[in-house]
Amino acid sequence: MAKAFFWCYPWDLEDEGYDRALGRLAGEIGVDAVSVAAVLDDLTEFRSRELNGPRTIVRQAAAHFHPSSKHYANTRLRPTAAAWMKSRDPLGQITKRARQHSLQCRAWAVCCRNSLLAARHPMAACVDVFGDPIAARLCPSNPDVREYVAALVDDLSSNHAIDAIELEEVGFGAGARCAPLETGVALGPIGGILKGWCFCASCRQRAEEAGLDVQEVTAAVLACLGPILRAEPTRPATFGDVLGKTPCLAAYHNMRCGAVQTLLEMVRRRTNKPLFVHVEADAFGSGIEAAALGDCCDGLVVSPKGDATTVLPEPAGRIARSCGGADRICVGTYCYPPDVCDGLTLVTRVRQAWQSGYAAIGFANYGVAPEPALDWVRQAIRFARRDA
């Protein structure tokens, strides 16, 4: 039977009161687990419900637990503990009290999107084909970034009583969609992907070691971007069409996917906890190929980003078929407007996921959700379990 969990920010649970919030999640709403943010990029949250604190929360990129420095001896990148915690240990409190309420606790870490670390360590940041840094992106080809991600997982696994780890943004990102761009023309899906390709020193070295001509690749990328930037009419094409017509771009794409895959293999060796990797159904060009990750993790989380209304039942179904079955997939869904506007919509969506055999259904996000949406989640879980 599928499990149900809620993504949570630790400060929301603290402001509501750990026991009150976790008791409600376990008892009234009926989830089996919480997935608590351990590392995040810059964030502004507006809370729909009145909690013991401000309605608007602004956080800079940080770790929302207290990192142990010994794990980061082999990398120049160090996670910065969030100032809001002060001397408190929210992750420790949540893991301890979750068990008292018969809830599992997962740690959720955003890995290669971090504005603070990208600014502090430009040598570790992604660089586009024009030589410009890509906002907030750390490059998964870079040795320091790779060790940093592995050390994060090692730290969380060794020092916290968590049941699983979720890695989000462990790839190169989904191109220009990752950050708003002010541009004279709309780059479109292909332009956005190629503008987001990294050509930093680490990527260039990895490409050369794979026998690629990096100058040929950059020339091909510029040839694709040129007509778009000149506002010339272009023929509709898919990312697959572009790769099929330009072998050097296909080879560079494969190199990027290989960088992410070997990073995850490295990470996998540093933890004995179940490891889940977030994928976005429409994040073409991020370097994350679901079909290649079978031995690198215990499952995939189909993230509720982009056009979330299409997450259930497709294209999550396509991802499930490519990676060995629905029982390896955790499906994410928003539980509030504009994506879900009433309880019936959420009940239908969750029932579809349950009947499709997915391993878990995740709801985003506990602190953001308005009060009626929490009741919709309760109804959706209850009806899905009744029909199972």
DSSP string over 131-173 = SPEEEEEEPTTSHHHHHHHHHHHHHHHHHS--SEEEEES-SS-
Two tokens, residue 59? 């956080």
Residue 79 pLDDT: 96
Burial 356-369 (b: 16+ CB within 10 A, else e): bebbbbbbbbbbbb
Q: What ranges in 47-114 are assigned the alpha helix state H?
A: 90-100
- pLDDT exceeds cutoff 90 at 136: yes
**Helix or strand holding residue 278 (H, E):** strand 275-279
CA distances from 5 to 320, 353, 360 (A): 19, 13, 7
Buried/exposed 72-108: b ≥16 CB within 10 Å, e otherwise? beebbbbbeebebbeeeebbebbbebbeebebbbbbb
**pLDDT class for 324, splitting at 50, 70, 90?**
low
Q: CA 150, CA 71: separation in Å to the nearest integer?
A: 9
Least confident of 148-162, 173-187, 241-255: 173-187
- Between 66 and 236, the higher pLDDT residue: 66
Cross-strand bridge partners of residue 108: 37, 166
More confident residue, 325 or 88: 88
End-to-end, the C-alpha distance of the chain in Å comes to 7
pLDDT of residue 326: 81
Say yes or no to pLDDT of 129 above 70.
yes
The residue among 92, 101, 95, 100 whose CA lies nearest residue 24 is: 101
Res. 309: pLDDT tops 70? no
CATH number, domain containing residue 19: 3.20.20.80
Q: Please state, rounded to an integer, the average pLDDT across all residues of the chain.
A: 91
The share of the chain scoring above pLDDT 70, in percent, equals 91
The reply to whether 187 falls in a domain is no
For residue 178, the model assigns a pLDDT of: 47
More confident residue, 190 or 292: 190
Q: Is 335 helix (H, G, I), strand (E, B) or coil?
A: coil
Of 175, 115, 112, give the one whose Cα is nearest residue 138.
112
Contact at 8 Å (CB) between 277 and 296? yes
Are the C-beta atoms of residues 264 and 277 closer than 8 Å to each other?
yes
Encode pLDDT of 360-375 as tens digits.
999 999 999 999 999 9
What per-residue confidence (pLDDT) applies to 294? 80
Does 245 map to a domain?
Answer: no
Q: Which of 212, 178, 210, 213 is nearest to 195 (CA)?
A: 178
Side chain identity at 19, as an amino acid letter? Answer: D
Residue 311 scores a pLDDT above 80: no
- In tens, the pLDDT along 208-221 reads 999 999 999 999 99
Give domain status of residue 280, yes or no: yes
Mean pLDDT of 105-124: 97
Does the structure show a pLDDT above 80 at 313? no
Give 168's Cβ-side CA count (13 Å radius). 23
Identify whether the C-beta of residue 154 lies closer than 8 Å to the C-beta of residue 107. Answer: no
Query: Which of 100-114, 222-236, 283-297, 303-317 has the weakest average pLDDT?
Result: 303-317
Residue 187 has pLDDT above 90, yes or no: no
In a domain, 22, yes or no: yes
The pTM of the full predicted model, rounded to 2 decimals, is 0.93
pLDDT confidence tier of residue 306, bands split at 50, 70 and 90: very low
Spatial distance between the Cα atoms of 103 and 122, rounded to a whole number of angstroms: 40
* Angle, helices 201-209/214-229, rounded to nearest 10 degrees: 130
pLDDT value of residue 173? 86
- Domain presence at residue 132: yes
pLDDT for position 314: 53
Three-state DSSP at 334 gives: strand
Instruction: Say if 175 falls within a structural domain.
Output: yes
Mean pLDDT of 27-47: 97
288 pLDDT exceeds 50? Answer: yes
Query: How many separate domains does the chain show?
Result: 1
Tell me if 331 is assigned to some domain: yes
Pull the structure tokens for residue 320: 């499930």
Contact 157, 165 (CB under 8 A): yes
Lookup: tokens for 67: 């990192």
Angle formed at CA 12 by CA 8 and CA 17, multiple of 5 degrees: 115
Stated length of the chain: 388
* Cβ atoms of 332 and 364 closer than 8 Å: yes
Q: Calculate ∠ Cα 112-334-277, nearest 5°.
A: 35
In a domain, 200, yes or no: no
Give the rounded percent of residues in the chain with a pLDDT score beyond 90.
Answer: 75
pLDDT tens column, 221-249: 999 999 989 888 888 788 889 999 999 99
Task: Tell me which residue range forms the domain holding 294.
Answer: 3-182+259-387
Q: Write the pLDDT tens digit of every residue in 152-166.
A: 999 999 999 999 999
Strands 62-63 and 33-40: antiparallel
Pair 39, 9: CB distance under 8 Å = no
